[in-house]
Amino acid sequence: MIGKVTIGKSFGGVVRYIMEKEGAEVLEQSGVRAINPILAIQDFNAIRIQRPGIKNAVWHTTLSFAYQDTVSSEQMIHISKDYLKTIGLDENQFLMAGHYDTKHQHIHIISNRIGFYGQVVSDQWCKNRTANICDQLEEKYGLIVARCQGKEKLIG
């Protein structure tokens, strides 16, 4: 599993992308109305205004599974919630959507770095922390170890 993190300024573009992409499926949300992108964006921004000095409030993670992994929607939700808990975003708003437009399964997670009561989750070393968490989750859930993919081609 590969985790890619992007920290951003605007909920608008990323929410529209993950919800409106053809074949996208909203899988889970917390503190966000996922009926349509406009309501979801409004909900994210309603919490964001508690901390106007925080310019980069958007935390967007994509968890991509190996081609050989077959993961159900329920498993993707469970793994994603485990990721959020470990990274420290489990008490914040989030929106999860599965995309099925590539050969590998992947899920997008948008979270608000600003919590319901104004606390802010640090984005320091977020990419390294995400990589380490992905390693732990691969082992915990018996997934293909992403770091080993392609190495056999180099060795053989």
The token pair at 34 is 């996922």
| Number of domains the chain contains | 1
Q: Exposure of 15 by Cβ count < 10 A (0-12 exposed, 13-18 middle, 19+ buried)?
A: buried
CATH classification at residue 141: 3.30.930.30
**pLDDT by residue, tens only, the chain of 156 residues:** 999 999 999 999 999 999 999 888 999 999 999 999 999 999 999 999 999 999 999 999 999 998 889 899 999 999 999 999 999 999 999 999 998 777 788 999 999 999 999 999 999 999 999 999 999 999 999 998 876 665 444 343
Tokens 């909920």, residue located: 11
Expressed as residue numbers, the domain containing 134 is: 2-155
Per-residue pLDDT tens over the stretch 127-151: 999 999 999 999 999 998 876 665 4
**How many CB atoms within 10 Å of residue 52?**
9
